[in-house]
Amino acid sequence: MAMMGKSALDRLLSPWVFVLTGIVFNILSAVITHYFIGLNNDAINLIDRDINRQQVLIDSSWQSKVEVERKKEFFILLFAQPQDKPAVSESFYQDYLQELMSTYDLAEFEPRMDRDRGNQLGLLLDISAAAQAAIIESINNTYFETLELHESRMPLESDNSRLFSIAIFLQVTGLILVLARDLRRN
């Protein structure tokens, strides 16, 4: 009876069992590394692409804010100088204000456009400030969306790290089992 138990144990600990188990562990390691980590990397790449797109939008919006500031300064300097053709300057000024109001949804300034024709500087400063505030609000919203994207990326990176550790453990264990075959023979 003890002989029969030893025989079953010998079959269980035979070299081919170690090799087969080691190969299965290595296959599992490869599946984890190339499939599951690959899926997470694809998701991380999509998030990175969205983060880059958001950063480009933030940069573009900041350039728009700077442009509004520069044009405001231009018109301040223009109105401070005596003008040869005030009608051309006024037309250019009105077109610019209309563009700002339509681009940044500043319809609340429409009534003032007709009423404050004589007070060009006050209207320019108010509309420019409102446009810049709208741009800053857009930048802030985009930045918060970018932070949310970064936060959604972190669990995927953590999962990848955990999966990589598991894959390495399985691979090393599989290698040990394959090499243990030689020890069992001796």
Q: What is the pLDDT of residues 149-166, one digit of tens each?
A: 999 999 999 999 999 999
Say if residues 177 and 15 touch (Cβ distance below 8 Å). no
- Residue carrying structure tokens 């985009």: 142
Say if residues 48 and 156 touch (Cβ distance below 8 Å). no
Q: For the chain, what percent of residues have pLDDT higher than 70?
A: 88
Q: Which of 37, 12, 6 is nearest to 165 (CA)?
A: 37
Say if residues 164 and 37 touch (Cβ distance below 8 Å). yes
User: Which pLDDT value is given to residue 6?
Assistant: 62
Element of type H or E holding 167: helix 120-185
User: Which pLDDT value is given to residue 133?
Assistant: 96
pLDDT in tens, 105-135: 988 888 887 776 666 788 889 999 999 999 9
Q: What is the mean predicted confidence (pLDDT) over 45-57?
A: 97
Q: What six digits make up the tokens of 64?
A: 């728009």
User: Which pLDDT value is given to residue 1?
Assistant: 44
- Residue carrying structure tokens 């409102």: 130
> Does residue 46 or residue 2 have the better pLDDT?
46
Distance CA 167, CA 156 (A): 16
Q: What average pLDDT does the structure give for the chain?
A: 87
For residue 104, is pLDDT > 60?
Answer: yes
For residue 180, is pLDDT > 90?
Answer: no
Q: What is the mean predicted confidence (pLDDT) over 84-97?
A: 83
Element of type H or E holding 98: helix 86-103
CA torsion, points 56, 57, 61, 62, in degrees to nearest 10? Answer: -30
Say if residues 32 and 163 touch (Cβ distance below 8 Å). yes
Distance CA 170, CA 30 (A): 9
Give the global pTM: 0.75
Q: Binning pLDDT at 50, 70 and 90, where does residue 64 land? A: very high
